[in-house]
A = this chain, B = another copy of it.
Amino acid sequence: MSAENIDNPISYEILEDLEDDFEEVELELLRQQAKLTKDLYAKRAKVVSEIPNFWPLVFEQAPPDIDEYVQPTDSAVLLSSLVNLSVERFELPNGDPRSISIKFEFSENEYFENKVLEKKFWWRRNKDGWAGLVSEPVKINWKADKDLTSGMLDLVYQVWEDDKAGKGDDTEAKKKLKSQMESTGLDGVSFFAWFGFRGLSISEEENQAALKEEQEKRKARKEGKEDEDDDDDEYEMEIFPTADDLAVCIAEDLWPGAIKYFLAAQEQDALSDINFESDEEMDEDEDDAQPSKKRKA
C-alpha cells in the first residue's frame, strides 16, 4: 500500500478508473457531435464559399490562443490568399474521434506554390502511458526568397526523411536545424512553422500495443493490481512545440465558431467606419468652434 493511502481511504486507481469512464463518454459525445454536425458543416462550407474573405476575416478575429502565433506577414498571406479552411475528424467512424486533420486552401500567392496545405494529427498512445496528438511535417514549396520559416521547415522535413531512412543522429540536416534553432530561437516564428510539428514518434503498431496494454492495466486495476508510469522523452527538434494545442484550438474554437468570428469582424468594420466618420465630424466641429481648452493651455 502506498503512502497516500494512509491519509486516503480511497485509492488513486478508483479515481483513474472514473476518469477513464468519463473519457469514454466524452469520446462518445465527440462521435455524436461529428455525426450531428456533418450536414450542417457541409451547408456552411457552401454558404461561406460565396462570401469574399470569409476565412481571412475569421482569422482576423481569432481568439488570443491562436492570434498570438500569427505574425504580421502570416496575416498578410492569409488575408490575400486563404480561400478555405476545413477540419475533419478523419479516423471516424471507427477510429479515435480526437484525431483531426486541418486543411488550408489558398489562391495563387507570392509566397508558396501549394494550393492546399493539410496537416493531420493522430491521437496516439505510447507504451509509457503518454497519450496525445502526433503529426508529420508538411512540406511547403516556397517561392524564391519567400520562405517565412527561414529554411527551418525544409530542414524539419529533411530530418524526418532522414529519420525514416534510418540515417542516425548526425545527418547534415539535423546539425543545421539544431544550430539554427539554437542561434535564432523560436520567438516570432511564423505560423507556417506549425506545419513542421511531429510530436512523439509513435507507430500505429506501437499505438495498438499500448492501447492493448492500457486495457490490460485497467483490467488489472479493477482486479486490485498496481500499475506504474514512466516519463516520456519529448522530441527535441520541434520548431513549433505547442502545435498540438494550437490544432485543438483551431478545431474546437475557430472552426465551430467561424460564423461568430466572421460576424464580429463585420461589426468591427462597421464600428471603425462609424468612428472614422465621427472623427471627421469632430474635426469639422473643432475647426468651426472656439479653440478647445486643451489648445489654449
Q: Known: A4-B266, A33-B29. Contact between A259 and B51, CB under 8 A?
A: no
A36, B47: Cβ atoms under 8 Å?
A: no
- Do the beta carbons of B47 and A15 come within 8 Å of each other? yes
- State the number of copies, please: 2
Establish whether residues A15 and B52, one from each chain, have CB atoms under 8 Å apart when the complex forms.
Answer: no
What is the CA–CA distance of A25 and B51 in the complex, to the nearest angstrom? 24
A165 contacts partner chain B, Cβ-Cβ < 8 Å: no
Of the candidates B7, B8, B29, B33, the one whose C-beta lies within 8 Å of that of A36 is B29
Is A186 part of the contact surface with B, judged by Cβ < 8 Å? no
| A260 contacts the other chain (CB 8 A) | yes
Given contacts A21-B40, A36-B25, are A47 and B14 in contact (CB under 8 A)?
A: yes
Which B residues lie within 8 Å of A50 (CB)? 8-10
Q: Which residues from chain B contact A8 at a C-beta distance below 8 Å?
A: 50-52
Nearest CB in chain B: distance from A266 CB, A: 7
CB of B22 within 8 A of CB of A256, answer yes
The yes or no answer to A209 lying at the interface (CB within 8 A) is no
Across the interface, do B40 and A7 meet the contact criterion of CB distance under 8 Å?
no
Residues 1-39 of A contacting B (Cβ, < 8 Å): 4, 7-10, 12, 14-15, 18-19, 21-22, 25, 28-29, 32-33, 36-37
**Cβ contacts under 8 Å, A7 to chain B:** 52
**Closest approach, in angstroms, between the C-beta of A191 and any C-beta of chain B?**
25
Contact of A37 with B22 in the complex, beta carbons under 8 Å: yes
Q: Whole-angstrom distance between the alpha carbons of A32 and B30 in the complex?
A: 11
Interface flag for A43 (CB, 8 Å): yes
A282 contacts B by Cβ under 8 Å: no
A262: CB under 8 A from chain B?
yes
Known: A47-B14, A263-B12, A266-B4. A25 touches B21 (CB 8 A): no
Within A183-199, the residues touching B (CB, 8 Å) are none
Residues of B within 8 A of A22 (CB): 37, 40, 256, 259
Does chain B have a CB within 8 A of A146?
Answer: no
Partner of A262, one of B9, B15, B266: B15
A167 at the interface (CB under 8 A from B): no
**In the bound complex, what is the Cα–Cα distance between A114 and B51 (angstroms)?**
56
Instruction: Give the nearest-CB partner of A9 in chain B.
Output: B50
| A222 contacts the other chain (CB 8 A) | no
User: Interface of A with B (CB < 8 Å)?
Assistant: 4, 7-10, 12, 14-15, 18-19, 21-22, 25, 28-29, 32-33, 36-37, 40, 43-44, 47-48, 50-52, 256, 259-260, 262-263, 266
20 contacts between A and B (CB under 8 A): A7-B52, A8-B50, A8-B51, A9-B50, A9-B51, A10-B48, A10-B50, A10-B51, A15-B259, A15-B263, A18-B40, A18-B43, A18-B47, A19-B260, A22-B37, A22-B256, A25-B33, A25-B37, A28-B36, A29-B33
